[in-house]
Amino acid sequence: MDTKGTLEIKHVSKSYRGRENDVHVLDDINLSIKSGEFISIVGLSGCGKTTLLRLIVGLDSGYGGDILLDNRKLNGPSIDRGIVFQDHRLFPWLTVEKNVALGIVGKSEKEKQAIVAGHLELVGLKGFEKSYPYQLSGGMSQRAAIARALVNQPEILLLDEPLGALDALTRMYMHKELERIWTEEKITMIMVTHDVEEAVYLSDKIVVMSAKPGRLQKVIPVPLARPRDRASLDFAEMKEKVLEEFMLHTEHHFAYTI
């Protein structure tokens, strides 16, 4: 079995030095993610989900415990992990093409061109190579950001609320696209979100986190067949199950329907 993109998070804790006492952001997080899984981390603001993601990508350091990628301990950022931020973070002074090419490491110009073209096609941005970020809509910018994150063929793609700034319809469309990209690329994806429906639609497992300090509250497997139907009863039940963790579910009273 392929083990590329296997992530082991063992007893990870993280605190920031505060003015009076240290702020505990993450407390004893244990999680193992299999190769090719789609994981969503759901939680309220301040539960440390973004911090966890930043630790995995290597933007933050100085934590307790271990994070192992394919049984190797992480050491700073590397091209085996790609990240898509909530704000697309494309460089406004570069065209889409150049933005996507930016991250490619150790390839000839010709190879670079081919990689960029391939990835722009993958994310559905063919024909926008020469556009500047300000000429793109929010959804298109995020597609470009996804392409940029994928060019080095990372084993894991980290998504930090990637669709949070998009309108509801574009977001649903992007869910489909993201699922397609995930199926085509066959890589592990970890997405931080606070949209429960998004999590249910995309994930193999949903990790629910609680705040202050950030703890792993529950891991909920989503055994629904893909592509998923938002209108189905199973989907709704799954959603309820996740919302229960936040005390947000509605009580269903017994009733007859004809």
Partner 1 sequence: MKLNRTEITRAAEGLALPFTICIVWYVVTARHLVMPDFLPSPGDVLAAFRELLGNGAFAYNLRISVLRVLKGFLIGSGAGYLLGVILGMSKLLEKMITPLFNAVRQVPLPAWAPLMVLVSHGELSQVLFISIGASYPVVLNTFEGVRSVRAEYLEVAHVYRFDRIKTFLRIFLPASFPSVLTGLRLSMSVSWMAVVAAEIFMSSGGGMGEMMWSGRELSRMDIVFVCIITIALVGFSMTWLMRKLEKTFSFWRITMKQSR
- Give me the residues that bind partner 1 (CB under 8 A), please: 57-59, 76-79, 83, 85, 87, 89, 91-94, 102-103, 105, 132-134
How near is the Cβ of 101 to partner 1 at its closest, in Å? 11
Count how many Cα atoms sit within 13 Å of the Cα of residue 249 in the half-sphere of its side chain.
Answer: 13
Is the CB of 59 or the CB of 219 nearer to partner 1? 59
How near is the Cβ of 93 to partner 1 at its closest, in Å? 4
Q: State the Cα–Cα distance between residues 128 and 121, nearest whole angstrom.
A: 10
Is the CB of 61 or the CB of 232 nearer to partner 1? 61
How near is the Cβ of 228 to partner 1 at its closest, in Å? 31
Is the CB of 90 or the CB of 220 nearer to partner 1? 90
Is the CB of 93 or the CB of 256 nearer to partner 1? 93
How near is the Cβ of 52 to partner 1 at its closest, in Å? 16
Measuring CA to CA, which residue among 155, 5, 7 is closest to residue 68?
A: 7
Q: How many residues does the chain have?
A: 258
Is the CB of 93 or the CB of 254 nearer to partner 1? 93
* Rounded-to-10 torsion of CA 213, 215, 217, 221: 150
Rounded to 5°, the CA angle 131-135-139 comes to: 100
| Residue in the block written with tokens 């963790």 | 245
| CB distance 159 to 191 below 8 Å | yes
| CA 158 to chain CA centroid, nearest Å | 4
For 119, phi then psi, to 5°, come to -75, -35
For 75, phi then psi, to 5°, come to -145, 85
How near is the Cβ of 257 to partner 1 at its closest, in Å? 49
Is the CB of 11 or the CB of 91 nearer to partner 1? 91
Is the CB of 79 or the CB of 211 nearer to partner 1? 79
With b for 16 or more beta-carbon neighbours within 10 A and e for fewer, the 163-193 pattern comes to beebeeebbeebbebbbebbeebebbbbbbb
How near is the Cβ of 185 to partner 1 at its closest, in Å? 18
How near is the Cβ of 75 to partner 1 at its closest, in Å? 12
Encode 199-223 in three state secondary structure: HHHHCCEEEEEECCCEEEEEEEECC
